[in-house]
Structure 1
């Protein structure tokens, strides 16, 4: 993992303050610096630009960001702060401003919704846009009503990794193992295997599937699970070697992995998923990552392919 900054994207809302506390704890855990970044509101940006253009000598040279000042005061009461602290007031749209500063980040942490979000939505538009486009891992921390342990940094519990053994870029498991090593906890690896279609073709349900229990007589369910676990083991071998003190738990589930990852998020320190397939260069987030972001009960890290080939140096 990069030795860059942990960036906390805040707007003063309660959701962003929960994310700020998570980011503070994370920076201390990794011995990293913490940047507190606030994107100025449209009205503040217009005011600052107008004052600058008038060159009024009676006005102070620098624009005082009230949100940043409040955050400085809030963090001054924290029990411990990282050795390096930075505050940045940014201009532009939220996704674009955070995308630019994310280039130097170990990770970017933000709340699931900000001041502009609808109360009925779990994931706000800015959170979704940043998770989709940032050049660094983005951790979305749900609000307190969704996750009681979020404010404490979710130190307890394992790190849960959603892994497609053949397609997930190496950046994703590398991030998960590094997080587990920093916490002194285990990685639980969850992969899904395909469930064969039902032999009974139904006209109004052409994509019907049967459960593994329904395959018991034919004996096809167990081999599919066994093969997935074998693929997991092969894929995880470099990480077991690189992180020998991190315990690994392997889980293979039928069908879509998203539901299992959401269930695991109730007790996990962090759920780690890839953003999308490394060869798909689009602004669409993958279906599993999207479902987990929408429904998770704890922090979720969305990790993009950080290298053009999606591979870490020295990986097979």
Structure 2
């Protein structure tokens, strides 16, 4: 691992895959799980890895005091045990991306992480669902929620161990599940899901939900059917809402299929609650991908589906903002 040009940074980040993968760590077990997820993501995408740690308030206060006093007896560096632990883990662990960098940041966690990455747009930012100091009962910590809501790049939130339902090997082998509202989901969300599936060599399962009128015969909790595109014919069975949504799905997927011809695609249309279906799908998925909000450019609000999936998913969730103004 590179040591860099100063006490708080190390090495040049980059790689053939373009934007780097950023892992946000604070020394907690969930953040170290996120670091491992980020390491594998950087290897899959052939890009660099930046490990970013926002220093706790005490360290930031000490740094400010040292800078203002400039006393000769003050040490040149202040302790960063998280950085020491991360470096030790990476240097003693398995394969690393060709270039790795560690950054100790100052400021609030959401603000510091929004600014990280410099001139290069990150490929993604990966963090644990609950950091150090969070209440054990919380499914999603306040910093994770704030970063996922405001970051200018896709944010992958990795659940803490109590929420995960399978080991790392099983998670890596699963499909990528894409939550799609055919009329509203920005193109950036689809592009991220297909690129991640291509890097993994796995399937994209596209899940859309439609509303059913209340009635005693509505079976919301039944398993949903996966329908391959070739099965969508004029004479196919299904309620009108299901058939129309399948057609809208197919139209939205045409350009993605053309760009990623080797990525298998499964289409699923489900009645009822989209968030609940995506949470259930997360039990066996490598990653669930959702859009951050409705297509209001640069909105600062997170949509209800993304928020619910982040709160309850059993595996990693990627929340993708609108990155380009020409997205659908």
Aligned position for 1:138? 155
Count of residues in correspondence between the two structures: 294
The 3 A distance-change label for structure 1 pair 40 and 194 is: same
Please give the per-residue CA displacement for 1:104-130, whole angstroms capped at 9, x wherever unaligned: 310000000001211000100000000
RMSD over equivalenced CA pairs, Å? 2.0
Distance 1:153 1:108 in 2: 22
3-state DSSP of counterpart to 2:178: strand
Query: Displacement, 1:148?
Result: 4.7
Deviates most, 151-160 or 46-55: 151-160
Following TM superposition, where does structure 1 have runs of at least 4 consecutive aligned residues deviating by more than 6 angstroms? Answer: none
- Relative to the length of structure 2, the TM-score reads 0.85
The 3 A distance-change label for structure 1 pair 152 and 116 is: farther
Aligned position for 1:48? 63
Q: Does the CA-based 8 Å contact 1:19-1:151 persist in structure 2?
A: no
Distance 1:21 1:152 in 2: 12
Which of 162, 167, 177 is the aligned partner of 2:184?
167
Please give the per-residue CA displacement for 1:140-184, whole angstroms capped at 9, x wherever unaligned: 000122115465593111000000001100000100000000000
Aligned position for 1:113? 130
The 3 A distance-change label for structure 1 pair 62 and 153 is: farther
The 3 A distance-change label for structure 1 pair 310 and 165 is: same
Distance 1:173 1:184 in 2: 16
Aligned position for 1:211? 218
Distance 1:119 1:227 in 2: 43
- Relative to the length of structure 1, the TM-score reads 0.88
Which of 298, 303, 307 is the aligned partner of 1:290?
307
3-state DSSP of counterpart to 2:24: strand
Aligned position for 2:106? 91
Query: Displacement, 1:251?
Result: 0.2
Q: Does the CA-based 8 Å contact 2:19-2:122 persist in structure 1?
A: yes
Q: Which ranges in structure 2 are unaligned for 5 or more consecutive residues?
A: 1-16, 221-236
Aligned position for 2:40? 25
Matched, 1:69 2:84: yes
Q: Does the CA-based 8 Å contact 2:297-2:325 persist in structure 1?
A: no
Q: Does the CA-based 8 Å contact 1:162-1:191 persist in structure 2?
A: yes
Distance 2:194 2:60 in 1: 40
3-state DSSP of counterpart to 1:61: coil
Distance 2:108 2:137 in 1: 23
Please give the per-residue CA displacement for 1:88-118, whole angstroms capped at 9, x wherever unaligned: 0000000110111157310000000001211
Distance 2:167 2:323 in 1: 26
Aligned position for 2:94? 79
Distance 2:217 2:327 in 1: 34
The 3 A distance-change label for structure 1 pair 231 and 196 is: same
Distance 2:96 2:280 in 1: 33
